[in-house]
Amino acid sequence: MERENFGSKIGAVLAAAGSAVGLGNVWRFPIETGQNGGAAFIIIYVLCIILLGLPIMISEFLIGRHTHANTAGAFRIISNGSPWKWVGRMGVFTGWFILCYYVVVGAWTMHYTFLSAINAFYDVPAKQYEDVFNNFVSNPWLPTFWLFLFIGVIHYVITRGVRSGIEKSAKLMMPTLFIITIFLAVCSVSLPGASLGIEFLLKPDWSKVNSTTILDAMGQAFYSLSLAMGCLCTYASYFDKKTPLAKSAVNVAFIDTLIAIMAGFIIFPSVFNIGMNPNEVGVGAGLTFVSLPNVFQQALGNGSFLAVIFSSLFYFLLFVAALTSAISLHEVATAYVTEEFKMSRRNGATLVTVSILVLGTLCSLSFGPLSDVKLFDRNIFSLFDDLSGRVLLPLGGMLISIFAGWVLDRQLYREEISNGGDLRTPYFKVLIFALRYIAPLAIGLVFLDQIGVFNLIPH
């Protein structure tokens, strides 16, 4: 069967940006920025993107596009069957593993969009938001219902195929996401007291920068760009020969960083408007599902029309961001099973979907009926989260950079990024240097730290 391609360059960039822009942009980046010295953190983060993120992203693009195969196949082909082929398999596994818990949070964003739209947060006392959230996630049925719906939407897009499913949905969803982000940021910065929030986010404070900050920035850059889980490699296998790899990577990184910074403009002005201390708002799920619903109600008027619109759009934004990322993760696994086990796309996608339904439900129930099931002191959800984020991702990233910098044929590398000599590549030497030395060392440090070998960051 003929392999599909993305129909346009812009479609290819938007799809990859859809993968990169996800929950991490909204629920981690702004908080990390605020607490780690504002613009000082942003500068370090951007350096990490340039020195680590871009070289690895370009390499993933290159491996995918050169081989036109799923990530496991791609690494097998490009490594001529040497043990490096395991890096590709590991990427597929990591992507699938992340998807199992990512869909759970995606489902929560749907529920919170719904709650916001029906004005369910009207008159909820500030202290009760935690109960609202805990009651919801520990309920055996409701989160499962949303989970099935969320996975159903992913399945629908994936079975429509690369062009009329993934590309078309990215072309629709990414501009929507962008418009909503701008609208919410403008609303938020026009609140009274917003300038304190902007200052918190942007004022460079170098005194807060230490080794922990740098490790945080590296880890975040890595996760945010969706590196080392096969997503970018798989999507790049649908790029055509004319897609400029380095330029596309720069565009994706730019969009990703812009949305992350704008998310800060949505969150902090509102937080400061109600006189809340940004150190109390938490991070991740606590920030998103406990602090923010309260912040929005108070800042915009309890139960007011504006609060309903703002809050619904905010959760819808998260939903879209999570959905496009989840689609990219699903595609990694779907492309793998369809091509490696010679199945039809429909059957391959169904197999992946069923596996996600089962494991996703287990992750989801680990907040309720299965909360007692623990391994290494973690519930099922945290186990998936920690194992992928702390171990598999950095390890994969390190191996990819070593492979691209030391093993991959230089000539092939240059051929691919210059599109057969059509594009100039003055950055080539720097790129290879970053892949050979900077990226493996830097990621190696993050990795050792994450698994607690030397504890630079007290977890």
Sole binder of ligand PHE in the list 5, 144, 224, 243 (CB under 6 A): 224
Determine phi and psi for 378, rounding to 5 degrees. Answer: -125, 150
Map residues 17-36 to x or -, x wherever contact with ligand PHE holds by CB under 6 A: --xx-xxxx-----------
When asked if residue 329 is in the footprint of ligand PHE (CB under 6 A), the reply is yes
Nearer to ligand PHE, 98 or 201 (CB): 98
Reduced to 3 states, what is the DSSP secondary structure of residue 378?
strand
b/e per residue 259-274 (b: at least 16 CB within 10 A): bbbbbbbbbbbbbbbb
Compute how many other C-beta atoms are within 10 angstroms of the C-beta atom of residue 351: 16
Of the ranges 160-168, 324-332, 334-342, 418-426, which one interacts with ligand PHE (CB under 6 A)? Answer: 324-332
Question: Cα 112 to the chain's mean position, in Å?
Answer: 20
Query: Residue 383 in contact with residue 417, Cβ under 8 Å?
Result: no
Nearer to ligand PHE, 187 or 261 (CB): 261
Sole binder of ligand PHE in the list 70, 71, 226, 311 (CB under 6 A): 226
Of the ranges 58-66, 128-136, 226-234, 422-430, which one interacts with ligand PHE (CB under 6 A)? Answer: 226-234
- What is the nearest approach in angstroms of ligand PHE to the Cβ of residue 269? 22
DSSP state of 76: H
What are the beta bridge partners of residue 378?
375
- What is the nearest approach in angstroms of ligand PHE to the Cβ of residue 24? 3
Nearer to ligand PHE, 23 or 281 (CB): 23
Nearer to ligand PHE, 24 or 197 (CB): 24
How many binding residues for ligand PHE (CB under 6 A)?
Answer: 15
Q: Which tokens in the block code for residue 329?
A: 């993760």
71: nearest Cα among 93, 53, 99, 97: 93
DSSP state of 277: -
Positions 85 through 124 that interact with ligand PHE (CB under 6 A) = 98
Query: Residue 354 in contact with residue 348, Cβ under 8 Å?
Result: no
When asked if residue 232 is in the footprint of ligand PHE (CB under 6 A), the reply is no
Sole binder of ligand PHE in the list 231, 232, 281, 317 (CB under 6 A): 231
When asked if residue 401 is in the footprint of ligand PHE (CB under 6 A), the reply is no
Nearer to ligand PHE, 331 or 449 (CB): 331
What is the spatial distance between Cα 353 and Cα 330, in angstroms, rounded to a whole number? Answer: 8
Compute how many other C-beta atoms are within 10 angstroms of the C-beta atom of residue 241: 12
Determine phi and psi for 375, rounding to 5 degrees. Answer: -135, 135
Of the ranges 81-89, 119-127, 322-330, 396-404, which one interacts with ligand PHE (CB under 6 A)? Answer: 322-330
Which residues fall within 8 angstroms of residue 112, CB to CB, at 6 or more apart? 288, 289, 293, 315, 318
Residue type (1 letter), 274? I
Nearer to ligand PHE, 299 or 321 (CB): 321
Which residues contact ligand PHE (rule: CB under 6 A)?
Answer: 19-20, 22-25, 98, 223-224, 226, 229, 231, 325, 328-329
